[in-house]
Amino acid sequence: MINVDKIREDFPILKRTVHGKPLVYFDNAATSQTPQIVIDTIVDYYSNYNSNIHRGVHTLSQEATDKYEEARIKVQHHFNAKEAYEIILTSGTTNSINIIAAGFASILQKGDEIIVSALEHHSNIVPWQMLCEKTGTILKVIPMLEDGSLNMDAYHDLVNEKTKLVFCNHVSNALGTVNPVEEIIAKAHAFDAAVLLDGAQATPHIKPDVQALDVDFYVASAHKLCGPTGVGMLYGKEKWLQKLPPYEGGGEMIATVSFEKTTYAGLPHKFEAGTPNICGGIAFGAGLDYMNAVGFDNIASYEHELLEYGTQELLKIENLKIYGTTAEKTAVISFNVGGIHPYDIGAILDKLGIAVRTGHHCAQPIMDFYQIPGTIRASFSFYNTKEEIDIFVSGVKRAVGMLS
C-alpha cells in the first residue's frame, strides 16, 4: 500500500505553486521529480567527497570511486544483471542506444536486416537510420494497430535468417502501451537475432529482470527514476559487450596507449571513456533505492488505480478521444478533444498550475498513424493523487469551454 501523503512529503517541489496555483505535475513520462534523499546525495557529493574516480591515490578519490562502483552494483541488482561489469553507466537512454548502434555498425553488413517497432521514441529510430545509411542494412518496421498495440502477426512474418537485431521499447512513451517483449525476444532468438529493449518508459513502473527476460541489451535513464538528468544505464550481455567495439576513445577506456598500438580496458570501462557523471551515477543509485523502498508492486498497483480513475473521469468529457487503449498500459493518458489543438489546451492548463506534455512526444510516426499533429499527454506517478486528477479534469473542461 502507498501512503501518498507521506510520500509527497519527500518531494519538495510538490509544495510549490505555479501561476498562484498548487502545482499538479502530470509530466512524469518526460521526467520524474526528485525526492529529498536524492537531492541530499547530490549535495553530500559536492560538499564532502567531490573528486575524480578510478585513478586517485588520495582518500577523496577512493571514496568517490567506492560510491560510484556501489551505484553500479545497485543498478546491477535492480535489473538483476549477472555481473556488475555488464552495466555501463551512460549519459542516458539516448546515449546508450547510440553506443549499441555505433557498435553494430561494425558488425552488420549490406543486406542484413534490423527490425524496429512503429511505437518508438525518435532516439530509438534515428541512430538506426544513421547506421543503415552507413552499412546498407535494411530497416523493417513492426506496424501498429488502432489500439496502440503492435501488430504481432506482422512481426512474426518480418523475422527471418537475415534479421540481426530487433529493438523496441518495453513501454511506449507516447501511449503507455506495454509491449509483449517476451514474445518479441523469443521469436528473435529463434533466428539468432539480438534484442535491445528501450526501458526508459517502462522502468518507472516495472522492475525488469534482464536475466529472466533473456534480453541482450536493456537501456534506461535515471531522470525518469527519481534520479538526476544526464545519467543512465546500458545493460548488455557479456558476450555482446565483448564483441562490440568501444564507442568513444579517451581516458578511462584504455589498458595501454602508445602511438603504435592502444589496447582497450576491460568491461565496463571500455565503454566509459572520460570522466563520467560521478555525482549523477551515485544519485542514480539513491533514486533506485528510494523507489525500491516504496516498492514496485505498490507503485504499479497505485498507478493503475490512478490510470483507471483518470481514464473514467476524462471520458465523461464530450468528444474526448484517448489514444492507446490496450489493457496492458502504464499510467499515461494521451488524448485530444474534438479538433482543438493540444497546445492550446496545454497552455491553459499551465495557467491553472497543471503540467502536461503536448505535441508528438518524440514519436512522430505514431502521430502520423493517427493523422494528428500531437496529443495532450498526462502521465502519472506514485506521488500523484486522485484529487489532482479532479483538478486536472476540471481544468480540461474549462479549457475546452474557452476554446470551443
CA distance 72 to 282: 8
Grid cell in block for residue 153: 502477426
Neighbours of 141 (CB within 10 A): 16
Site for ligand PLP contains 34 (CB under 6 A): no
* Contact stretch for ligand PLP (CB under 6 A) within 7-15, 52-60, 198-206, 327-335: 198-206
Q: Which of 92, 208 has the CB closer to ligand PLP?
A: 92
Among 28, 135, 137, 173, binds ligand PLP (CB under 6 A): 173
Q: Which of 112, 303 has the CB closer to ligand PLP?
A: 303
Site for ligand PLP contains 200 (CB under 6 A): yes
Query: Quick check: is 168 catalytic?
Result: no
Cβ 311 to ligand PLP, closest distance in Å? 20
Site for ligand PLP contains 121 (CB under 6 A): yes
Q: Which of 201, 334 has the CB closer to ligand PLP?
A: 201
- 116 CB-side CA count, 13 A: 23
CA distance 332 to 329: 8
* Contact stretch for ligand PLP (CB under 6 A) within 4-12, 18-26, 195-203, 304-312: 195-203
Q: How far is CA 296 from each of CA 2, 206, 255, 306, rounded to the nearest angstrom?
A: 11, 6, 40, 15
Among 169, 179, 334, 381, binds ligand PLP (CB under 6 A): 169
Among 76, 117, 163, 201, binds ligand PLP (CB under 6 A): 201
* Contact stretch for ligand PLP (CB under 6 A) within 66-74, 86-94, 127-135, 313-321: 86-94
* Contact stretch for ligand PLP (CB under 6 A) within 126-134, 197-205, 272-280, 342-350: 197-205
Strand, coil or helix: what is 31? coil
Site for ligand PLP contains 277 (CB under 6 A): no
Site for ligand PLP contains 92 (CB under 6 A): yes
Q: How far is CA 150 from each of CA 5, 172, 207, 320, 377, rounded to the nearest angstrom?
A: 37, 11, 22, 23, 20
Site for ligand PLP contains 93 (CB under 6 A): yes
Cβ 46 to ligand PLP, closest distance in Å? 22
Q: How far is CA 196 from each of CA 99, 199, 254, 352, rounded to the nearest angstrom?
A: 12, 9, 26, 40
Largest Cα span, the chain? 72
- In the range 209-268, which residues lie near ligand PLP by CB under 6 A? 221, 223
Q: CA torsion 263→268→269→274, rounded to 10°?
A: 140
Reduced 3-state DSSP string for 326-383: CCCECCEEEEEECCCCHHHHHHHHHHCCEECEEECCCCHHHHHHHCCCCEEEEECCCC
Q: Which of 114, 225 has the CB closer to ligand PLP?
A: 225
Q: What are phi and psi of 246, to 5 degrees?
A: -60, 160
Q: Which of 103, 176 has the CB closer to ligand PLP?
A: 176
Strand, coil or helix: what is 236? strand
Residues classed as catalytic: 362
- Residues at the interface with ligand PLP (CB under 6 A): 92-94, 121, 123-124, 169, 173, 198, 200-201, 221, 223
